[in-house]
A and B are shown apart, each in its own frame.
Chain A
Amino acid sequence: MTSTDLLSILPIITLVAWASILLLVDAFNRKNKWLTPLLAAVGFAVALGLSINQTTASYTGFNNMVAVDGFSAYLNVLFAFSGLAAIALAYDYNKRMNLARGEYYILLMFSVSGMMLMAAATDLIVVFLALELLSIPLYILAGFARPKLDSEEAALKYFLLGAFAGGFVVYGVALAFGATGSTALIDIVAAINAGTADMTLLLFGAALILVGFGFKVAAVPFQMWTPDVYQGSPTAVTAFMAVGAKAAGFAALLRLFVAALPTLYDDLFPIMWMLAALTMIFGNLVAISQSNIKRMLAYSSIAHAGYIFMALVTFGQSAIAPDAVAAALFYLVSYAVTNFGAWAVVIALEKAEGKGLELDDYAGLGSKYPALAAAMLVFMLSFTGVPPTLGFMGKFYLFRAVINGGFYWLSIVGVLTSLISAYYYLRVLVIMYMREGEPSVESSNLLNLTTGLTAIATVVLSIVSVPLFRWASQAVLQLF
């Protein structure tokens, strides 16, 4: 192991080491409940700094098993922020729900380290390793509210389907290895270019990996677990899962298909086209009939996976793919910011025993808590894609890539499903502003801060979107 190797996984190793130390700290400190979350936040902040530091770096470590490039740095910053946001959402919520246990934050750190490894992985074995590292803590977190049945059910369901999906990925990796004689992306590319790869076998391997990650990002028809798991998990976990796991899944898919497998484009893009279209249609249509906000946001997260999937459809068009990937990266940030904000509002209204989660519980929020309702208004408009919000800019960039790639019909499916989504996002606004009610809000400073910051970011970053988009488009350059 050289110093470059160590440097290449520095943010990841920092998180893992810090989390291991925290395990001990937490074991000996049972009195000061604030210590572990605080130290975990420090850990994320350090990892964030280290990731930002890697933005302009470009090298590989561990014999091409991990890469440090703009792509991994961009996503690692997103993951570190997600970790911080997850702490901010969870701190008071966990106390309120009697979940205030230090392991929560430690598991969060392990999961984030897995996500970071996923963004950097350039070897299929490491991809699988990262997948397990990020997933196993999430299975535990999903069941964190035990012995609540919903939560246990969520954990079991997530675990079983996650293991199932993991199996697809491993099998796909094995086939890819059989086809090319290597699991390193760089060698796979070399084998394809040299003509020594068995392309049929590789195609099957790639398709299986696509299916496996289809589960992770909750693309239709691999989405069945999503609503139950999102509903059953503690809400703070759901928020983290909806952003982190999805972004990590897309990180793996984007790097694998764009950087290593563009030769499979002709065979795979129709399948991806169908996946994207089905995911957008199904997610948005089913979200309409939900009356529980957690389930509604679960289906909405499925739908948003469909939008990001549109970027993946162009993966083999070398002229367009960089823009498409950059648009996907931008969209992930817009989705993350909006999502954390929306879940923060959900947490503010949630009561013990799963009360306060029906849409009807939001009645009267507009007149009783105008600031909170205004924030929710911003998030709903951003999810819908109405300017001036980040979600609109995200969709604008995405649709350009899709149209540029010549997928006119897919773009039409995209806008029509956005229209459908307007219906159920608007319903939240109708209930908040146009119905009378007595909502009760359990707010705390940390939660209010998160809600406020994400709402401001959603609007401001849409008007000043250039720096973020420039960063995203530079981040993808080294992939090609």
Chain B
Amino acid sequence: MEYLLHPLTLVTFFPLLGVLVLLFLKPEQHNAHRWTALVASLINFGISIVLLAQFIGYESVQPGQLQMAINLPWIQVAGWNISYAMGVDGLSILLVLLTTFLTPISILSTWNAVETKVKDFMIFFLMLEVGMTGVFLAQDLFLFYVFWEFTLVPMYFLIGIWGGPERMYAAVKFFLYTMAGSLLMLLAILWLGIYQGTFSVPELIAQGGIPADIQMWLFLAFAAAFAIKVPMWPLHSWLPDAHVQAPTAGSVILAGVLLKMGTYGFIRFNIPLFPVAAVKAAPWMALLAVIGIIYGAAVSYYQRDIKKLVAYSSVSHLGFVMLGLFALNPQGIQGGILQMINHGLSTGALFLLVGMIYEQTHTRDFEVYGGLWKLMPVFGTLTLIVTLSSMGLPGLNGFVGEFTILLGAFGSEAIGSPWYAGLSAIGVILAAVYMLYMFQKIFLGPEGSIVEEVKKHGHALRDLNAREIITLLPILVLIFWIGLYPKPFFVLMAPTVDKLVAAVQAAAVAMH
């Protein structure tokens, strides 16, 4: 009972209660399904806020530790040493909050968008939340892997059942790409379990002592799983398909949280478990990150499908995150973590906005848009704010993250050259170009043909309604908050990051 009501177990598995309720509802009670899912996810957000308060309490006593750890023996037979081990630190808490924050928002966005099989949709959505939260809290490699793979199934269905015309192809591609990487990680996890004798992440880190050449192989196996998920260039090709075909809520969660599972994996596992390999690989990871930044930005510019543009911009933005992480210094990693949150908020909001206009026009080709500013002023204003946040305007959240990352990457010993940071700054400029180009095409200039097209169907374009504004408002608040006063976020993650950096530096010194 003590374990069942433990805050970490609760925040992970609470959505299952919503699933249980949903199972007993009739298939045609669509509104009941929506409300059940929304309430369940809102309560879960409440639980995560309580968790945050408790975490801050513990953190003030022992900063930088894994707080509120659970460690319950699970598979302890024939040499296995697997536990139900969970714990939260400055990194996990932020990502758990991001998950529990974006889930109700995504559910709210489906109110009119998902009309068929609402019950199944909500069941899969809540199960996805369980998987994602579990990924961010698990402190045992086996448990982590179970959650990690578990997220695949609901997302696969969200894309495959409620997605666009090419949904089946996109869903299968998403599943197979991710699984390819995870299976290599599974072998590495098994290796660690066999030769290090435990699956517990804190124990493995404390124990250390993995020979340098083997570290490299294990690093690569873990990186395969995470690099596909991030996605890093050149493993990104599943992302545009998945994003374009996924329903709005699926895109929001995909961009907002699922991609962060990849970057999270790098910080949680690759860097601390294999520090020697991480230091060695840093310049290469930085190189791939920079290629991703510029490639993603350049390709975005040539997209005419709004969702595809946002999808490729994700490749670019997550390149920044990776650059920050592999700077392996406090600024770089802190910036990287903050940028993970920022990207979740900005890109999540962009997908929500795209979904809102798509519901009315049923096209995402922005060539047919134009002059919407006059017709939909609220929609226009909100889109402008989010666009500016995404391209990193000072005063909004994106700037803080990108600036800190560049600062970290410039001075990074591990990367070894300021050129990487210099080149990636091009990405910031390109981001302004393609983002503003899209904004201009949709909102400015003469009225696009779509306005007439919609009128032909008997109703004019309407501005955002109250529900849609409520959906977006929490994200906007955070966009301004992080942009103007990011200190609380940095304070939350600083002890965890400092500890990580100290451990990596110690390993790097030992290497020489």
Contact = CB atoms under 8 A, between A and B. Distances in A.
Interface of A: 323, 326, 366-367, 370, 381, 386-388, 392, 396, 399-400, 403-404, 408, 411-412, 415-416, 418-419, 422-423, 426-427, 429-430, 433-434, 465-466, 469-470, 473
Nearest to A415: B183
Given A415-B183, A415-B187, A419-B176, A386 B194 contact: no
B76 interface: yes
B193 A400 contact: yes
Interface stretch (B1-9, B12-20, B144-152, B388-396): B144-152
Nearest to A408: B187
Given A422-B176, A466-B77, A388 B150 contact: yes
Given A404-B194, A469-B78, A473-B78, A434 B171 contact: yes
Given A386-B152, A418-B183, A430-B168, A399 B78 contact: no
A412 B191 CA distance: 12
A422 B75 CA distance: 26
A404 B78 CA distance: 13
A462 B194 CA distance: 20
A381 B153 CA distance: 9
A323 B183 contact: no
A403 B146 contact: no
Nearest to A420: B176
Max count, chain B CB within 10 A of own CB: residue among A423, A430, A470: A430
Interface string B75-109: 11111000000000000000000000000000000
12 contacts: A367-B117, A386-B149, A386-B152, A386-B179, A400-B190, A408-B187, A411-B190, A419-B176, A430-B168, A434-B161, A465-B75, A466-B77
Contact of B187 (A323, A412, A422): A412
Contact of B77 (A403, A422, A470): A470
Contacts of A423: 172, 176
A472 to B, nearest CB: 9
Interface string B164-188: 0001100110011001100110110
B190 A323 contact: no
A433 B157 contact: yes
Nearest to B157: A433
B335 interface: no
What class of interface size applies to chain B in its complex with A? 35 or more
A412 B183 CA distance: 9
B283 interface: no
B149 A323 contact: no
A98 to B, nearest CB: 37
Contacts of A388: 146, 150
A419 B183 contact: yes
Given A370-B120, A465-B75, 11 more contacts: A386-B153, A387-B150, A388-B146, A396-B186, A400-B193, A400-B194, A411-B187, A412-B184, A426-B172, A434-B160, A466-B77
A403 B193 CA distance: 10
Interface string B241-266: 00000000000000000000000000
Contacts of B187: 399, 403, 408, 411-412, 415
In the A-B complex, list the 4 residue pairs whose CB atoms are closest, starting with the nearest: A415-B183, A387-B146, A473-B78, A434-B160
A406 B262 CA distance: 29
Contacts of B152: 386
A403 B190 contact: yes
Contacts, number: 85
A323 B79 contact: yes
Contacts of B79: 323
Nearest to B78: A473
Interface string B98-136: 000000000000000000010010000000000000000
Given A386-B152, A400-B190, A415-B187, A422 B179 contact: yes
Contacts of B176: 419, 422-423, 426
Nearest to B79: A323
Contacts of A399: 186-187, 190
Contacts of B157: 433
Given A323-B78, A367-B117, A400-B190, A430 B171 contact: yes
B146 A419 contact: no
B190 A434 contact: no
A366 B116 CA distance: 13
Contact of A403 (B172, B180, B194): B194
Contacts of A427: 172
A386 B182 CA distance: 11
A326 B79 CA distance: 12
Contact of B149 (A326, A387, A470): A387
A469 B190 contact: no
A469 B77 contact: yes
Nearest to B116: A367
Given A400-B193, A434-B171, A470 B180 contact: no
B135 to A, nearest CB: 12
A387 B149 CA distance: 6
B191 A403 contact: yes
A386 B131 CA distance: 13
Contacts of A387: 145-146, 149-150
A469 B74 CA distance: 13
A334 to B, nearest CB: 15
Max count, chain A CB within 10 A of own CB: residue among B77, B180, B191: B77
B78 A326 contact: yes
Contacts of B183: 415-416, 418-419
Interface string B57-87: 0000000000000000011111100000000
A430 B75 CA distance: 33
A400 to B, nearest CB: 5
Contacts of B77: 466, 469-470, 473
Contacts of A419: 176, 179-180, 183
A388 B150 CA distance: 7
B78 A470 contact: yes
A304 B176 CA distance: 19
A415 B172 CA distance: 18
Max count, chain B CB within 10 A of own CB: residue among A366, A418, A433, A434: A434
Interface string B285-296: 000000000000
Contacts of B186: 396, 399, 415
Contacts of B171: 430, 434
A408 B214 CA distance: 13
A422 B146 CA distance: 16
Nearest to A418: B183
Contacts of B161: 366, 433-434
Contacts of A430: 160, 168, 171-172
A419 B75 CA distance: 26
A264 to B, nearest CB: 26
A401 to B, nearest CB: 10
Contacts of B146: 387-388, 392
